[in-house]
Amino acid sequence: MASDESLPMLKILMIGPSGAGKSALLIRYCDDQFDTESSTATIGVDFKLKKLSVHGKAYRLNLLDTAGQERFRTLSNSYYRGAHGVILVYDISSRDSFNAMERWFEEAESNAMPGAVMYLVGSKMDRAANRTVKYEEGEALARNHGSRFCEVSSKTKENVRKPFIEIVDLISQNPELLAASNKRAGTVAVGESEGAFGSGCAC
């Protein structure tokens, strides 16, 4: 059996407005814990390492949770280098959060390498009673950018694994993307030198 260190590494960024639910989604997926995100927002970039098998093929995921505040945008832009995929997250109970997604898509499409997979996520399904963004709106936005789409709830765990499984599946179907990332990476991505899965911080 191959060791964890020998498995292919996929770098996936999580971006979106501050408070959209990025950290809660990542923590629920990696640690199966629910973080209300009521505490201090992400400063700079946090990361977690996770192993995932899709169609019988195992990968190591380097998941980077980027800060949504404007003052960290220059910092987060540098982390697009070598990224295989980008998960864009908005809050279904915040119209402002959703309205900002065109700008986030523009940033991702401008900075990510050609062929990087985009995946749009509407978070906080558990707040459906306070929904201000229809499912169909998120679906249409994703379609306009050639992206997959789903809604999740980090609180109830609904669909939490879906965006990660599907984005890895799409990346694995593009050998040219995998080859290009290895050539472009240049430097070791944050967290790739760590041996343990499920924790890490690059603040």
The domain total for the chain is: 1
Buried b (16+ CB within 10 A) or exposed e, 167-179: bbebbbeeeebee
> At 178, which amino acid appears?
L
Domain limits for position 86: 8-187
> Domain with 156 in it: what CATH number?
3.40.50.300
Q: Would you say residue 49 lies in a domain?
A: yes
| pLDDT tens digits in sequence order for the chain, 203 residues long | 456 778 889 999 999 998 899 999 999 999 898 876 544 454 456 778 899 999 899 999 999 987 655 544 555 567 888 899 999 999 999 999 999 999 999 999 999 989 999 999 999 999 999 999 999 999 999 999 999 999 999 999 999 999 999 999 999 999 888 887 555 443 333 333 333 333 333 32
Residue 128: HSE in the Cβ half-sphere, 13 Å Cα cutoff: 9
21 located within any domain: yes
150 assigned to some structural domain = yes
* pTM for the whole structure: 0.82
**196 occurs within a structural domain:** no
